[in-house]
């Protein structure tokens, strides 16, 4: 897999909330603080999006897609001057066919999902994204159009198996939005996600992800990026925020953590498969990166939150 797919597979996003709403006339809805990622796409009409801590509101138009990865409270409104209705009070009591109706529906419609990220890399991913990831290029909208139309159909028709289909569609929208955000060129940021927009850094990261057990050296990683060792080391540190070998160690430990939490493999086998000949050396590295011993980490895992489709 490519690095972004690798990380998202470890995050194990759970779309335990998904749906949408229609609105007509003058309206404003206030959504409280949340964990995880909210991903929306505007199916029809226009509205304003304002997020706490972001100075300027964003005008959303038909086809726009946006992610809210920081969990901040936000509002959607036809007019910023309108008094908001609390989303908690609104959606549980006014639903029809999987779509919440506000003022009878009509000129505005939105669909999307809410993901809880259960992997330990979740904070790293969300922390390097801006409060609003707004996808608005006409060429990019076409990429999301099929998912948007299919999701809306599943929500309104409620066919057998619709829950599973809608869940996969929302996952697809999340990946597409992150991919398009990368394609726009994430300049000026530091972190592995930003590094994926750089072909040389992405090549080195992909090499580590493809073969984490290999005895990687700085020279070998520089060769995979097509760079000299000194230039590669400097650029990697500047782009990713850590040294190549430190990044490799963290990736190995994240892989190990996923296996400890989701399998019954012995620690010795996991250590060997990730390039550690000594279980004690692996345990020392794991505790340094993950904050606990491998066995304590495995015992401390909690099950993911229950899924629901009540509201966005």
Considering only residues 227 and 121, tell me which one the structure prediction assigns the higher pLDDT. Answer: 227
Q: Which range is most confident: 108-122, 169-183, 209-223, 296-310?
A: 209-223
The full set of domains in the chain, from first to last, is: 3-183 (2.60.120.280), 192-299 (1.10.10.60)
* Mean pLDDT of the 85-105 span: 60
Q: Is the pLDDT of residue 237 over 80?
A: yes
Q: For 13-44, how does the pLDDT look when each residue is reduced to its tens digit (9 = 90+)?
A: 666 677 788 888 889 999 998 877 888 888 89
Rounded-to-integer distance, Cα 34 and Cα 133, Å: 16
Tokens of 35: 């964990």
- Kind of pairing between the strands at 37-44 and 28-31: unpaired
SS3 303: coil
At 66 the pLDDT is: 87
Q: For 121-154, how does the pLDDT look when each residue is reduced to its tens digit (9 = 90+)?
A: 566 566 666 788 887 777 777 777 777 778 777 7
CA 157 to chain centre: 28
Rounded-to-integer distance, Cα 100 and Cα 84, Å: 16
CA 237 to chain centre: 23
DSSP 103: T
Tokens of 8: 């998202």
Give the chain's radius of gyration (CA, Å): 22
Rounded-to-integer distance, Cα 121 and Cα 182, Å: 18
């Amino acid at each position: 897999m490519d690095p972004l797919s690798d990380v998202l597979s470890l995050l194990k996003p759970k779309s335990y909330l998904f749906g949408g709403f229609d609105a007509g006339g003058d309206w404003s809805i206030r959504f409280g603080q949340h964990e995880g990622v909210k991903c929306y796409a505007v199916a029809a009409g226009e509205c304003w999006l304002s997020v706490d801590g972001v100075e300027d509101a964003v005008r959303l138009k038909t086809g726009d897609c946006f992610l809210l990865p920081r969990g901040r409270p936000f509002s959607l409104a036809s007019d910023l001057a309108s008094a908001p209705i609390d989303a908690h009070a609104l959606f549980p009591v006014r639903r029809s066919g999987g779509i919440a109706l506000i003022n009878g529906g009509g000129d505005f419609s939105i669909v999307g999902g809410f993901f809880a990220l259960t992997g330990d890399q979740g904070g790293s991913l969300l922390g390097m994204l801006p409060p609003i990831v707004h996808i608005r290029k006409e060429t990019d909208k076409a990429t999301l159009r099929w998912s948007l139309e299919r999701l809306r159909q599943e929500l309104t028709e409620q066919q057998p198996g619709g829950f599973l289909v809608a869940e996969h569609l929302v996952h697809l929208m999340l990946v597409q939005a992150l991919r398009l955000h990368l394609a726009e060129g994430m300049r000026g940021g530091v972190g592995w996600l930003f590094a994926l927009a750089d072909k040389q850094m992405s090549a080195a990261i992909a090499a580590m992800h493809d073969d984490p057990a290999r005895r990687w050296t700085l020279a070998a990683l520089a060769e995979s990026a097509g760079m000299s060792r000194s230039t590669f080391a400097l650029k990697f540190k500047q782009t990713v925020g850590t040294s190549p070998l430190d990044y490799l160690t963290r990736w190995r430990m994240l892989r190990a953590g996923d296996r400890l939490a989701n399998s019954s493999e012995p620690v010795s086998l996991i250590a060997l498969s990730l390039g550690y000949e000594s279980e004690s050396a692996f345990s020392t590295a794991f505790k340094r990166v993950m904050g606990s011993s491998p066995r304590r980490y495995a015992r401390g895992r909690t099950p993911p939150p229950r899924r629901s489709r009540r509201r966005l």
